[in-house]
Amino acid sequence: MKNIQMVDLKGQYNKIKDQIDTAVIQTIESTSFINGPIVKEFAHSLEKYLDVKHVIPCANGTDALQIALMALSLKPGDEVICPSFTYVATAEVISLLGLTPVMTDVDPDTFNITADIIKPHITSKTKAIVPVHLYGQSSDMEGIMNLAKEFGLYVIEDNAQAIGAKYTFRDGTVKSTGTIGHIGTTSFFPSKNLGCYGDGGAMFTNDDEIAKNLKMIANHGQEVKYYHKVTGCNSRLDSIQAAILNIKLNHLDSYSFSRNKMAKNYDENFSEIPELSIPKRQYNSTHVFHQYTLKIVPELRNSLIDFLKENNIPVMIYYPVPLYKQEAFSSYVNGDFRIENVEQLCNTVFSLPIHTEIENSSQDFIIQKVKDFFNKI
């Protein structure tokens, strides 16, 4: 049995090695390292895959979020609503731009923000909402978009963990996550479902004017070289990473299929363990299982993790601390501020290995060891 990892990038690379190596060498030989033709080719490929009008590649997922906010001409002190149970980047960029992150509760079963959760936090200063499609499935975007329309708010989807997922509206319309709000963003960090071999990110929009602003801001605030209309930044996806992503995009659906197959196997084996809660599927979203995240009764979590690690099974906690308890965001909340659901999730969630290259015997071993733990208590 191979060494078990949270993600096996080497195994994945070896399966498509010839394609990747050829694409990388061709890019190097072209010497078009920055904004080469392959960057545009990848952007067009992703536009077609997502069925979105504009894909604007950039340097990483955090830049994508920051540039998205910059493109909306928000002003210091404007409030942006986001979940408090997510990776730091979501609130980090809000704070960095002098905006105010309003960190909210999430649904304790889907781990995502909802319109009902958002609505009480809307004030006269609220200008935008950043739903995060956590672990691989969509937030309830129809409700969120209706709420945004009612109050005149922008919606920026943080789609870093859910690229390839689909959301179905009540009328049967199906859209890719990241293409529903005014802007969608994603990360191509190597461990993501669609990951490059360095850093990378992208923004999506169907709005021509927003797309124009996104492109300009990502390119030093210029539309014409050396003529700078706004203060921007330097955020580019390099050509080698674009070449890699253009190959891997062709495999994304099969990667999602493999992850779902693993998730189903986990579900079938863990659903009868009373101390565990398997991931709940959002009824109107597909799931691409960037993470397979369970909940466990809090008093057993550390013991289970220790037991699994003793058996060389990696386990991760996404995320152990609510954003509002991070020192970086302490100025935005009162000292005794707490959200019960989020505190509970931080004390109960854990994620098991789920990736495209894991062997059946390895997953069987993981499942058996989890069962062994509960059989002993």
Cα–Cα distance between 166 and 50 in angstroms, integer? 9
Q: Which residues contact 198 (CB under 8 A, 6 or more apart)?
A: 190, 238, 240, 241
- Looking at the structure, tell me whether residues 326 and 221 fall in a common domain: no
Cα–Cα distance between 102 and 308 in angstroms, integer? 37
What one-character DSSP code corresponds to residue 311?
T
The last residue of one of the domains, among 250, 272, 302, is 250
The last residue of one of the domains, among 250, 277, 305, is 250
Q: Domain range holding 367?
A: 252-376
- Looking at the structure, tell me whether residues 62 and 201 fall in a common domain: yes
* pLDDT given for residue 182 in this prediction: 98
- Looking at the structure, tell me whether residues 166 and 219 fall in a common domain: yes
* pLDDT given for residue 1 in this prediction: 80
Contact between 351 and 292 under an 8 Å Cβ cutoff? The reply is yes
What number of other Cβ atoms are within 10 A of residue 248's Cβ?
A: 23
Cα–Cα distance between 342 and 105 in angstroms, integer? 6
- Looking at the structure, tell me whether residues 246 and 257 fall in a common domain: no
What does DSSP say about strands 154-158 and 183-187: parallel, antiparallel, or unpaired? parallel
* pLDDT given for residue 191 in this prediction: 97
Q: What is the pLDDT of residues 126-152, one digit of tens each?
A: 999 999 999 999 999 999 999 999 999
- Name the amino acid, one letter, at 17: K
- Looking at the structure, tell me whether residues 215 and 323 fall in a common domain: no
* pLDDT given for residue 335 in this prediction: 85
- Looking at the structure, tell me whether residues 32 and 161 fall in a common domain: yes
The last residue of one of the domains, among 250, 279, 300, is 250
CATH of the domain at 142: 3.40.640.10
- Looking at the structure, tell me whether residues 328 and 257 fall in a common domain: yes
Within-domain flag for 64:
yes
What does pTM read for this prediction?
0.97
**Which residue is it, tokens 């602003």?**
213
Number of domains in the chain: 2
Q: What is the pLDDT of residues 201-222, one digit of tens each?
A: 999 999 999 999 999 999 999 9
Within-domain flag for 326:
yes
Within-domain flag for 1:
no
Within-domain flag for 113:
yes
Within-domain flag for 3:
no
Within-domain flag for 14:
yes
* pLDDT given for residue 240 in this prediction: 98
Contact between 268 and 279 under an 8 Å Cβ cutoff? The reply is no
- Looking at the structure, tell me whether residues 21 and 164 fall in a common domain: yes
- Looking at the structure, tell me whether residues 183 and 280 fall in a common domain: no
Return the H-helix or E-strand segment holding 104. Answer: strand 100-104
- Looking at the structure, tell me whether residues 148 and 18 fall in a common domain: yes
- Per-position pLDDT tens, the chain of length 377: 889 999 999 999 999 999 999 999 999 999 999 999 999 999 999 999 999 999 999 999 999 999 999 999 999 999 999 999 999 999 999 999 999 999 999 999 999 999 999 999 999 999 999 999 999 999 999 999 999 999 999 999 999 999 999 999 999 999 999 999 999 999 999 999 999 999 999 999 999 999 999 999 999 999 999 999 999 999 999 999 999 999 999 999 999 999 999 999 999 999 999 999 999 999 999 999 999 999 999 999 999 999 999 999 999 999 999 999 999 999 999 989 999 999 999 999 999 999 999 999 999 999 999 999 999 98
- Looking at the structure, tell me whether residues 244 and 260 fall in a common domain: no
* pLDDT given for residue 2 in this prediction: 85
CATH of the domain at 314: 3.90.1150.10
Determine if the peptide bond prior to 292 is cis (ω within 30°): no
Within-domain flag for 321:
yes
Cα–Cα distance between 153 and 125 in angstroms, integer? 10
Contact between 168 and 285 under an 8 Å Cβ cutoff? The reply is yes
What number of other Cβ atoms are within 10 A of residue 309's Cβ?
A: 11
* pLDDT given for residue 342 in this prediction: 98
How many angstroms separate the Cα of 285 from the Cα of each of 50, 282, 305, 318?
A: 15, 5, 30, 21
- Looking at the structure, tell me whether residues 78 and 101 fall in a common domain: yes
Within-domain flag for 202:
yes
Reading the block at residue 241, the tokens are 């990473």
- Name the amino acid, one letter, at 113: I
* pLDDT given for residue 377 in this prediction: 86
